[in-house]
């Protein structure tokens, strides 16, 4: 949303309120009563009537006053931009800040995550997926007894036990207060006076008090008097009441409000409005200028036109981590989309939109290997809805499947580096569905999608799917004479061997891939990651000098290039070697930097590995209680990392060793208590705790005094010794 989340003590992701919520006291009280009576409450009503504002106000009240009932927080999932039913579960998981790297169905992940929690889930804008949303809500409520759902939509979900609150427009007094407040926000000099009161009351009545209509009218009061606004509306009222015959008057009133705003726009503003409807979610000015400009809409005029639409409340301006973005309210966007279709220009604009976002992804991939890596991650996150729409556009045209393969493959850094494995696999598999084995001018796009799919599946622990994609990529690269694609295929085969505990094969494949990369002149984050993974294999096989040489070189290159994501994995290997040599202070410094980087990029694989090695370092520092807390906090993350990684004797050796040593020092009961304390930590709290200097902690966690001296057997196990069974 581009707004700073409002964090209650119980947690959640509710956006902060940018404008004062006016009126609706009775509806708020009734909504609170319904939430006491049912686990599913739905606010229904026409578009623009204020459903979203009401449920958010109720959710904020719940977050502040019902922390015991919703002790795991109040969470908002905005679904208006989700069109593909396959992305519904992913959208909910994203809203819940739930990252999963396994091959489990997202619905299963959601149910398991929610099954033991007590929280309120707010769903907004589900109309386009009402059947799928109803089915998902029904199953989650059945499987998760502590879950409550508050939904806002134009129709009920029709799920058993649902209580619906039909929302009518506000009463005249509240409508007048809303119009006055919004007009004052646009023009601070505006005031309700005896001279304009009658016109404003009449304007509210003509617009049926619908909040969206009032918001649009308030935008016009910046330049027109209330009497002028009313006169213009009166002139066009008969023309613009084009709702369905016999339909509710409120529908016709809303259409009047939007159509009236459309009529008041200049021809250029109307044209831009229609063309902006091709965007999904937030967009920036550069995208608008590329997609919407043309001979009939000069690019040099676009900025001023955007400003006019913004002034008329037809666009919303948002501050995001990726910079300023603009967004259309869904009802306004839908109206513009209808006009674009009537102009016969929708197909061309969708293709221009697709081309812009294919180009954006290309630039982001190149800029990933630079000091702007974090900004690139934030940019792709902000543009995700539009990138999804571009992928859908590629899939809609069979002759352009190669563009979809290219786009899905180009976003490898986002899928693998920013905790989006499940969604990445979804798009990669969909774009690869058209089966065309003949090598041609677009074969390189297919090969790229294949090795990225193999990479993603390997990180998910799905060895069969990974090998299938990688063998197909390797064979296709050989047939088409593509040495770069061949190197990527061999590299990811080595990555799969690494997470599968076949270290000898990993060393062989990763070494071969590194040679092939160098022969082809390839240097980027993937190549450096190959070198780090080879360093991991050497470390696990006992060749720490070789691992140090490889990862030390990667660290230097990363610092020179400003690359941070791969650097974090190099730091992990360097910390592993430092701990083995007894240099715990050095290991801690390396790992805290590693944790901070992985947290920024939402890389759950790297984060959990670093945290568990840090827990072992903490034992070596003489604080087994704090180590147990870190262990307890990190352990649930493994549920989302992947079954193969969870079963790895090499990667899990620090976890098992920490459990053994800390448990021996604390005793079983005290160790379990500290672990339980860690499991209650949010990810933010966990990372903050992990980054603290040991001297800041004082006594151990849970009131346990710190130990002195070095624990027995603090060397990191490797080789056959690492392959111990799980307890």
Give CA separation, 273 vs 268, 300, 337, 518, 550, in Å.
9, 16, 9, 50, 54
Which pLDDT belongs to residue 530?
Answer: 97
Q: Mean pLDDT across the stretch 155-176?
A: 92
**Lowest-pLDDT choice from 4-13, 282-291, 444-453:** 4-13
What is the C-alpha to C-alpha distance for residues 127 and 346, in angstroms, rounded to an integer? 22
Higher-confidence residue of 316 and 272: namely 272
Which pLDDT belongs to residue 249?
Answer: 46
Higher-confidence residue of 238 and 89: namely 89
pLDDT band at 320 (very low <50, low <70, confident <90, very high): confident
**Does 722 have pLDDT greater than 70?**
no
Taking residue 131's Cβ as centre, other Cβ atoms within 10 Å add up to 11
Q: What's the mean per-residue pLDDT of the chain?
A: 87
**Lowest-pLDDT choice from 333-337, 434-438, 503-507:** 434-438
Closest CA to 379 of 419, 325, 453: 325
**Does 701 have pLDDT greater than 70?**
no
What is the C-alpha to C-alpha distance for residues 415 and 421, in angstroms, rounded to an integer? 5
Q: Mean pLDDT across the stretch 167-176?
A: 91
**Does 616 have pLDDT greater than 50?**
yes
Q: 285-292 and 346-368 are packed helices; what angle lies between their axes, rounded to 10 degrees?
A: 140
What is the C-alpha to C-alpha distance for residues 405 and 387, in angstroms, rounded to an integer? 13
Q: Where are the beta strands (DSSP E) in 3-109?
A: 5-6, 14-15, 40-44, 74-78
**Lowest-pLDDT choice from 219-223, 386-390, 623-627:** 219-223
pLDDT band at 539 (very low <50, low <70, confident <90, very high): very high
Which pLDDT belongs to residue 459?
Answer: 87
Contacts of 275 (CB under 8 A, 6+ apart): 291, 292, 297, 336, 340, 345, 349
CA torsion 710-714-715-716 (nearest 10°) is: -150
The percent of residues in the chain predicted with pLDDT above 70, rounded, is 88
CB 175 within 8 A of CB 215: no
Q: Is 132 left (phi over 0), alpha (psi -120 to 50) or beta?
A: alpha
What is the C-alpha to C-alpha distance for residues 240 and 393, in angstroms, rounded to an integer? 33
Which pLDDT belongs to residue 32?
Answer: 92
Q: pLDDT tens digits for 58-93? A: 999 888 876 678 988 999 999 988 889 999 999 999
**Does 504 have pLDDT greater than 60?**
yes
E strand or H helix at 594: helix 584-601
Q: Mean pLDDT across the stretch 606-628?
A: 93
CB 671 within 8 A of CB 661: no
Q: pLDDT tens digits for 540-577? A: 999 999 999 999 999 999 999 999 999 999 999 999 99
What is the C-alpha to C-alpha distance for residues 693 and 673, in angstroms, rounded to an integer? 23
Contacts of 354 (CB under 8 A, 6+ apart): 389, 390, 393, 394, 403
For residue 325, the cross-strand partners are 318
Which pLDDT belongs to residue 705?
Answer: 45
Which pLDDT belongs to residue 641?
Answer: 63
**Lowest-pLDDT choice from 195-199, 524-528, 679-683:** 679-683
For residue 165, the cross-strand partners are 43
Q: pLDDT tens digits for 5-51? A: 434 335 788 887 767 888 899 999 999 999 999 999 999 887 788 89
| pTM score | 0.84
Higher-confidence residue of 20 and 386: namely 386
CA torsion 308-310-312-316 (nearest 10°) is: 170
Which pLDDT belongs to residue 240?
Answer: 31
């Amino acid at each position: 949303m581009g707004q700073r989340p409002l964090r209650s003590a119980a947690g959640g992701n509710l956006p902060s309120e940018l404008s004062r919520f006016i009126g609706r006291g009775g509806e708020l009280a009734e909504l609170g009563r319904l939430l006491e009576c049912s686990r599913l409450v739905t606010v229904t009503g026409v578009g623009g009537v204020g459903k979203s504002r009401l449920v958010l106000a109720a959710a904020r009240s719940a977050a502040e006053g019902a922390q015991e009932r919703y002790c795991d927080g109040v969470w908002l999932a905005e679904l208006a931009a989700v069109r593909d039913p396959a992305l519904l579960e992913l959208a909910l998981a994203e809203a819940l800040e739930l990252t999963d790297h396994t091959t489990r169905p997202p619905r299963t992940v959601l149910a398991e995550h929610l099954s033991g929690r007590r929280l309120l889930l707010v769903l907004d804008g589900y109309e386009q997926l009402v059947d799928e949303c109803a089915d998902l809500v029904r199953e989650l409520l059945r499987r998760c007894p502590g879950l409550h759902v508050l939904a806002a939509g134009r129709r009920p979900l029709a799920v058993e036990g649902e209580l619906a609150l039909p929302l009518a427009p506000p009463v005249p007094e509240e409508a007048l207060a809303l119009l006055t407040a919004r007009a004052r926000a646009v023009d601070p000099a505006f005031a309700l006076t005896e001279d304009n009161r009658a016109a404003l009351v009449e304007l509210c009545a003509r617009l049926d008090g619908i909040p969206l209509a009032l918001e649009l009218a308030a935008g016009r009061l910046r330049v027109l008097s209330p009497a002028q606004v009313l006169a213009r509306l009166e002139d066009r009222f008969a023309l613009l009441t084009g709702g369905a015959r016999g339909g509710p008057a409120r529908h016709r009133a809303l259409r009047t409000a939007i159509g009236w705003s459309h009529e008041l726009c200049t021809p250029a503003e109307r044209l831009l409005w229609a063309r902006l409807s091709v965007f999904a979610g937030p967009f920036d000015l550069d995208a608008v200028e590329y997609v919407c400009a043309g001979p009939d809409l000069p690019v040099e005029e676009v900025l001023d036109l955007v400003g006019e639409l913004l002034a008329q409340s037809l666009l919303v301006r948002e501050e995001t981590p990726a910079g300023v973005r603009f967004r259309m309210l869904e009802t306004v966007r839908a109206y513009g989309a209808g006009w674009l279709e009537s102009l016969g220009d929708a197909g061309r604009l969708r293709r221009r939109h697709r081309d812009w976002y294919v180009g954006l992804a290309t630039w982001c991939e190149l800029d990933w290997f630079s000091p702007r890596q974090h900004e690139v991650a934030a940019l792709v996150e902000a543009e995700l809805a539009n990138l999804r729409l571009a992928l859908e556009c590629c899939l809609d045209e069979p002759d352009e499947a190669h563009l979809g393969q290219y786009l899905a493959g180009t976003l490898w850094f986002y899928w693998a580096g920013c905790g989006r494995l499940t969604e990445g696999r979804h798009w990669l598999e969909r774009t690869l569905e058209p089966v065309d084995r003949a090598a041609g001018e677009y074969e390189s796009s297919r090969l790229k999608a294949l090795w990225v799919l193999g990479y993603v599946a390997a990180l998910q622990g799905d060895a069969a799917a990974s090998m299938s994609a990688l063998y197909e990529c390797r064979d296709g690269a050989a047939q088409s004479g593509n040495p770069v694609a061949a190197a990527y295929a061999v590299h990811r085969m080595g990555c799969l061997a690494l997470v599968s505990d076949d270290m000898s094969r990993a060393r062989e494949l990763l070494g071969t891939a590194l040679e092939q990369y160098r022969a082809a002149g390839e240097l980027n984050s993937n190549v450096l990651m190959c070198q780090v993974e080879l360093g991991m294999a050497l470390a696990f096989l006992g060749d720490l000098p070789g691992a140090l040489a490889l990862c030390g070189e990667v660290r230097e290159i990363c610092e020179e290039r400003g690359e941070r994501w791969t650097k974090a994995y190099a730091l992990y290997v360097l910390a592993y070697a430092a701990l083995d040599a007894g240099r715990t202070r050095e290991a801690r410094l390396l790992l805290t930097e590693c944790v901070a980087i992985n947290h920024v990029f939402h890389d759950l694989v790297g984060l959990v590995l670093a945290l568990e090695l840090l827990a072992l370092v903490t034992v070596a520092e003489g604080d087994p209680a704090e180590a147990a807390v870190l262990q307890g906090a990190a352990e649930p993350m493994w549920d989302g990392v992947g079954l193969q990684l969870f079963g790895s004797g090499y990667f899990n050796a620090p976890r098992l060793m920490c459990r053994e040593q800390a448990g021996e020092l604390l005793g079983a009961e005290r160790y379990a208590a500290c672990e339980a304390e860690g499991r209650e930590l949010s990810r933010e709290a966990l990372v903050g705790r992990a980054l603290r200097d040991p001297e800041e902690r004082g006594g151990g966690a849970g009131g346990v005094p710190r130990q002195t001296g070095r624990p027995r057997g603090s060397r990191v196990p490797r080789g056959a010794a690492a392959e111990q069974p799980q307890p």
